[in-house]
Chains A and B, each alone.
Chain A
Amino acid sequence: MATTSKSDALNTILNTLSASSGDIEASAVISSDGLMIASNFPAGLDEDRVAAMAAALLSMGERASSELARGDLDQIFVKGENGNLILVTSGDEGMLTTLTTASAKLGLVFLDMKRAAEEIARIM
């Protein structure tokens, strides 16, 4: 886990993100090694598992994007029946993950996430 001041700053960013859009149900900052750094994910989720899964998805996405000559990875978007999972890189060592409603206005969510990811990268 991040040191308290860092952790406070990251939690503030995540809470601001959720407050800025009713479409974002939860969000988390995860290291590229798959460790949860900060999160406001619902209680009851296995955070270690979710963090490892998200990091694995992002790594695979980066590999696939490069293998298929699509350039640097921008985001991973997983659309489920009940909502979406979105991952964006944040600096070299981390990523920002959000869970959104199924009807989320994605353009706005992407924009908010991009800004938050930049802020997170500065802190980390």
Chain B
Amino acid sequence: MSSYDNFTEMKKFVGFSSEDAENLKSIAHVFEKHGPALTDFFYETLDLYPETATLIEGRVDSLKATHARWMGELFTGVEGGYDEAYFNNRDIVGAVHVKIGLDPRWVEGVMTIIRTGGHAALAQELESAAELGEKFNSLCKILDLDLMVINLSYADERLTRLATFTGMSRKLIENCISSG
């Protein structure tokens, strides 16, 4: 099963529906307003830890631009469908971070910043608790799906690199893992 198949299966599994897509579209304006501050906080946090700070040094402005694009796509679904085009944009994010030697725990960790910051932004802008609950749920679903794709491509890229280095086929590596 390819990763895109995994993605569509997981979309079904977490119950990501057209209603979620509509909810996300309806909160795009909240993130147009609060997104830049959230992105700033994201990079300020990464700057506090030497392991992440060295990786972003001297390129924070350009990273903020890519980050803003990534965030915008959370609410448009790339061409509206949260489908293959959306998946492909997420799939490369994992591979890019493996290439720079970033440990996956940092990606997991900063997603919490997006989640909690996202909640705070929605709480400021939405009128009712019911609407907040419903729209925050949709945001959580898409962030979890994004993280899943990033993690899968992380794992995949690491195996690909191990396969290239050792000359071992993917099947052999899987056999080693299951015999481990």
Contact = CB atoms under 8 A, between A and B. Distances in A.
Interface stretch (A10-18, A54-62, A98-106): A54-62
B169 interface: yes
Interface string A22-59: 00000000001111000000000010110111011001
B175 A32 contact: no
Nearest to B165: A63
B176 to A, nearest CB: 5
B179 A60 contact: no
B169 A33 contact: yes
Given A34-B171, A56-B172, A49 B179 contact: yes
A118 B23 CA distance: 65
B176 A52 contact: yes
B18 interface: no
Interface string B145-180: 000000000000000000001111101100110110
A100 B179 CA distance: 24
A87 to B, nearest CB: 14
A56 B168 CA distance: 6
Interface residues of A, number: 16
Contacts of A55: 168, 172, 175
A46 B172 contact: no
A52 B172 contact: yes
Given A56-B166, A59-B167, A63-B166, A48 B172 contact: no
Contacts of B172: 32-34, 52, 55-56, 59
Nearest to B168: A59
A119 B171 CA distance: 25
Given A60-B166, A63-B165, A33 B179 contact: no
A59 B171 contact: no
Contacts of B178: 48
A62 B175 contact: no
Contacts of A63: 165-167
Interface string A57-79: 00110110000000000000000
B164 to A, nearest CB: 9
A60 B178 CA distance: 19
A75 to B, nearest CB: 16
A32 B179 contact: no
Contacts of A34: 171-172, 175-176, 179
B169 A56 contact: no
11 contacts: A33-B172, A34-B171, A34-B176, A35-B175, A46-B179, A48-B175, A56-B172, A59-B166, A59-B167, A63-B166, A63-B167
Q: Which 3 A-B pairs have the closest CB atoms?
A: A63-B167, A34-B175, A59-B167
